[in-house]
Chain A
Amino acid sequence: QSVLTQPPSASGTPGQRVTISCSGSSSNIGGKSVNWYQLVPGTAPKLLIYGVNQRPSGVPDRFSGSKSGTSASLAISGLQSEDEADYYCATWDDSLSGWVFGGGTKLTVV
């Protein structure tokens, strides 16, 4: 059971906009920045979003993040086939003194 809650799956068609939610508590999302990662099998996890909707160099602006209270969301606009991957939210948890992750959301581009 993950500390952060994500839907197990999401899907969309090319060009569509999809959002993935991440729910936590006051000890994690409520007081910390949320990071989003993309995992493609066989490759290193990739940081997509950190801080207040910041993107590392090289991440397209089709990816955006938001946070409200103890929940956060990742939005992907202009969906592309290469966006098919697993997506994880993560943040530091003050109560646990450690990083906590969502259970992951498998995005399918149909």
Chain B
Amino acid sequence: EVQLVESGGGLVKPGGSLRLSCAASGFAFSSYTMNWVRQAPGKGLEWVSSISSSTLYIYYTDSLKGRFTISRDNAKNSLYLQMSSLRAEDTAVYYCARVTCSGGTCPLDYWGQGTLVTVSS
């Protein structure tokens, strides 16, 4: 069974840093592109970042470039998001999500349950 379990969320002051983790199990983690997607309270889903299986391709949403860094450790079946210079508007539930390509299409097919990050003084 595919499982994605996020951790590392919590309360952080504006300007602070936080590192999120996503532990993967039930599939060959090293073969899959992974993503972070967030949902602010009362808002819609917003894609944050994507990292390919070999880390060759890394993408960020423009508004977050320079503050967030995505990484992965295939030996530990883990995905990470290092967040710095946090702002109130970064308050959200952060989900990790897997990409699976099949038949010419590549959806975000499995998601974790998310970890809540609250940025407040």
Give the interface of A toward B (CB within 8 A): 2, 33, 35, 37, 39, 42-47, 50-52, 54, 56, 88, 90, 92, 96-104
Contacts and interface: CB of A to CB of B under 8 A. Distances in A.
A72 to B, nearest CB: 13
Interface stretch (B8-16, B72-80, B84-92, B109-117): B109-117
Classify the secondary structure of B's interface with A.
strand
B26 interface: no
B50 interface: yes
B118 interface: no
A104 B112 contact: no
A47 B105 contact: no
Contacts of A102: 44
Given A35-B108, A50-B107, A51-B104, A45 B45 contact: yes
B23 interface: no
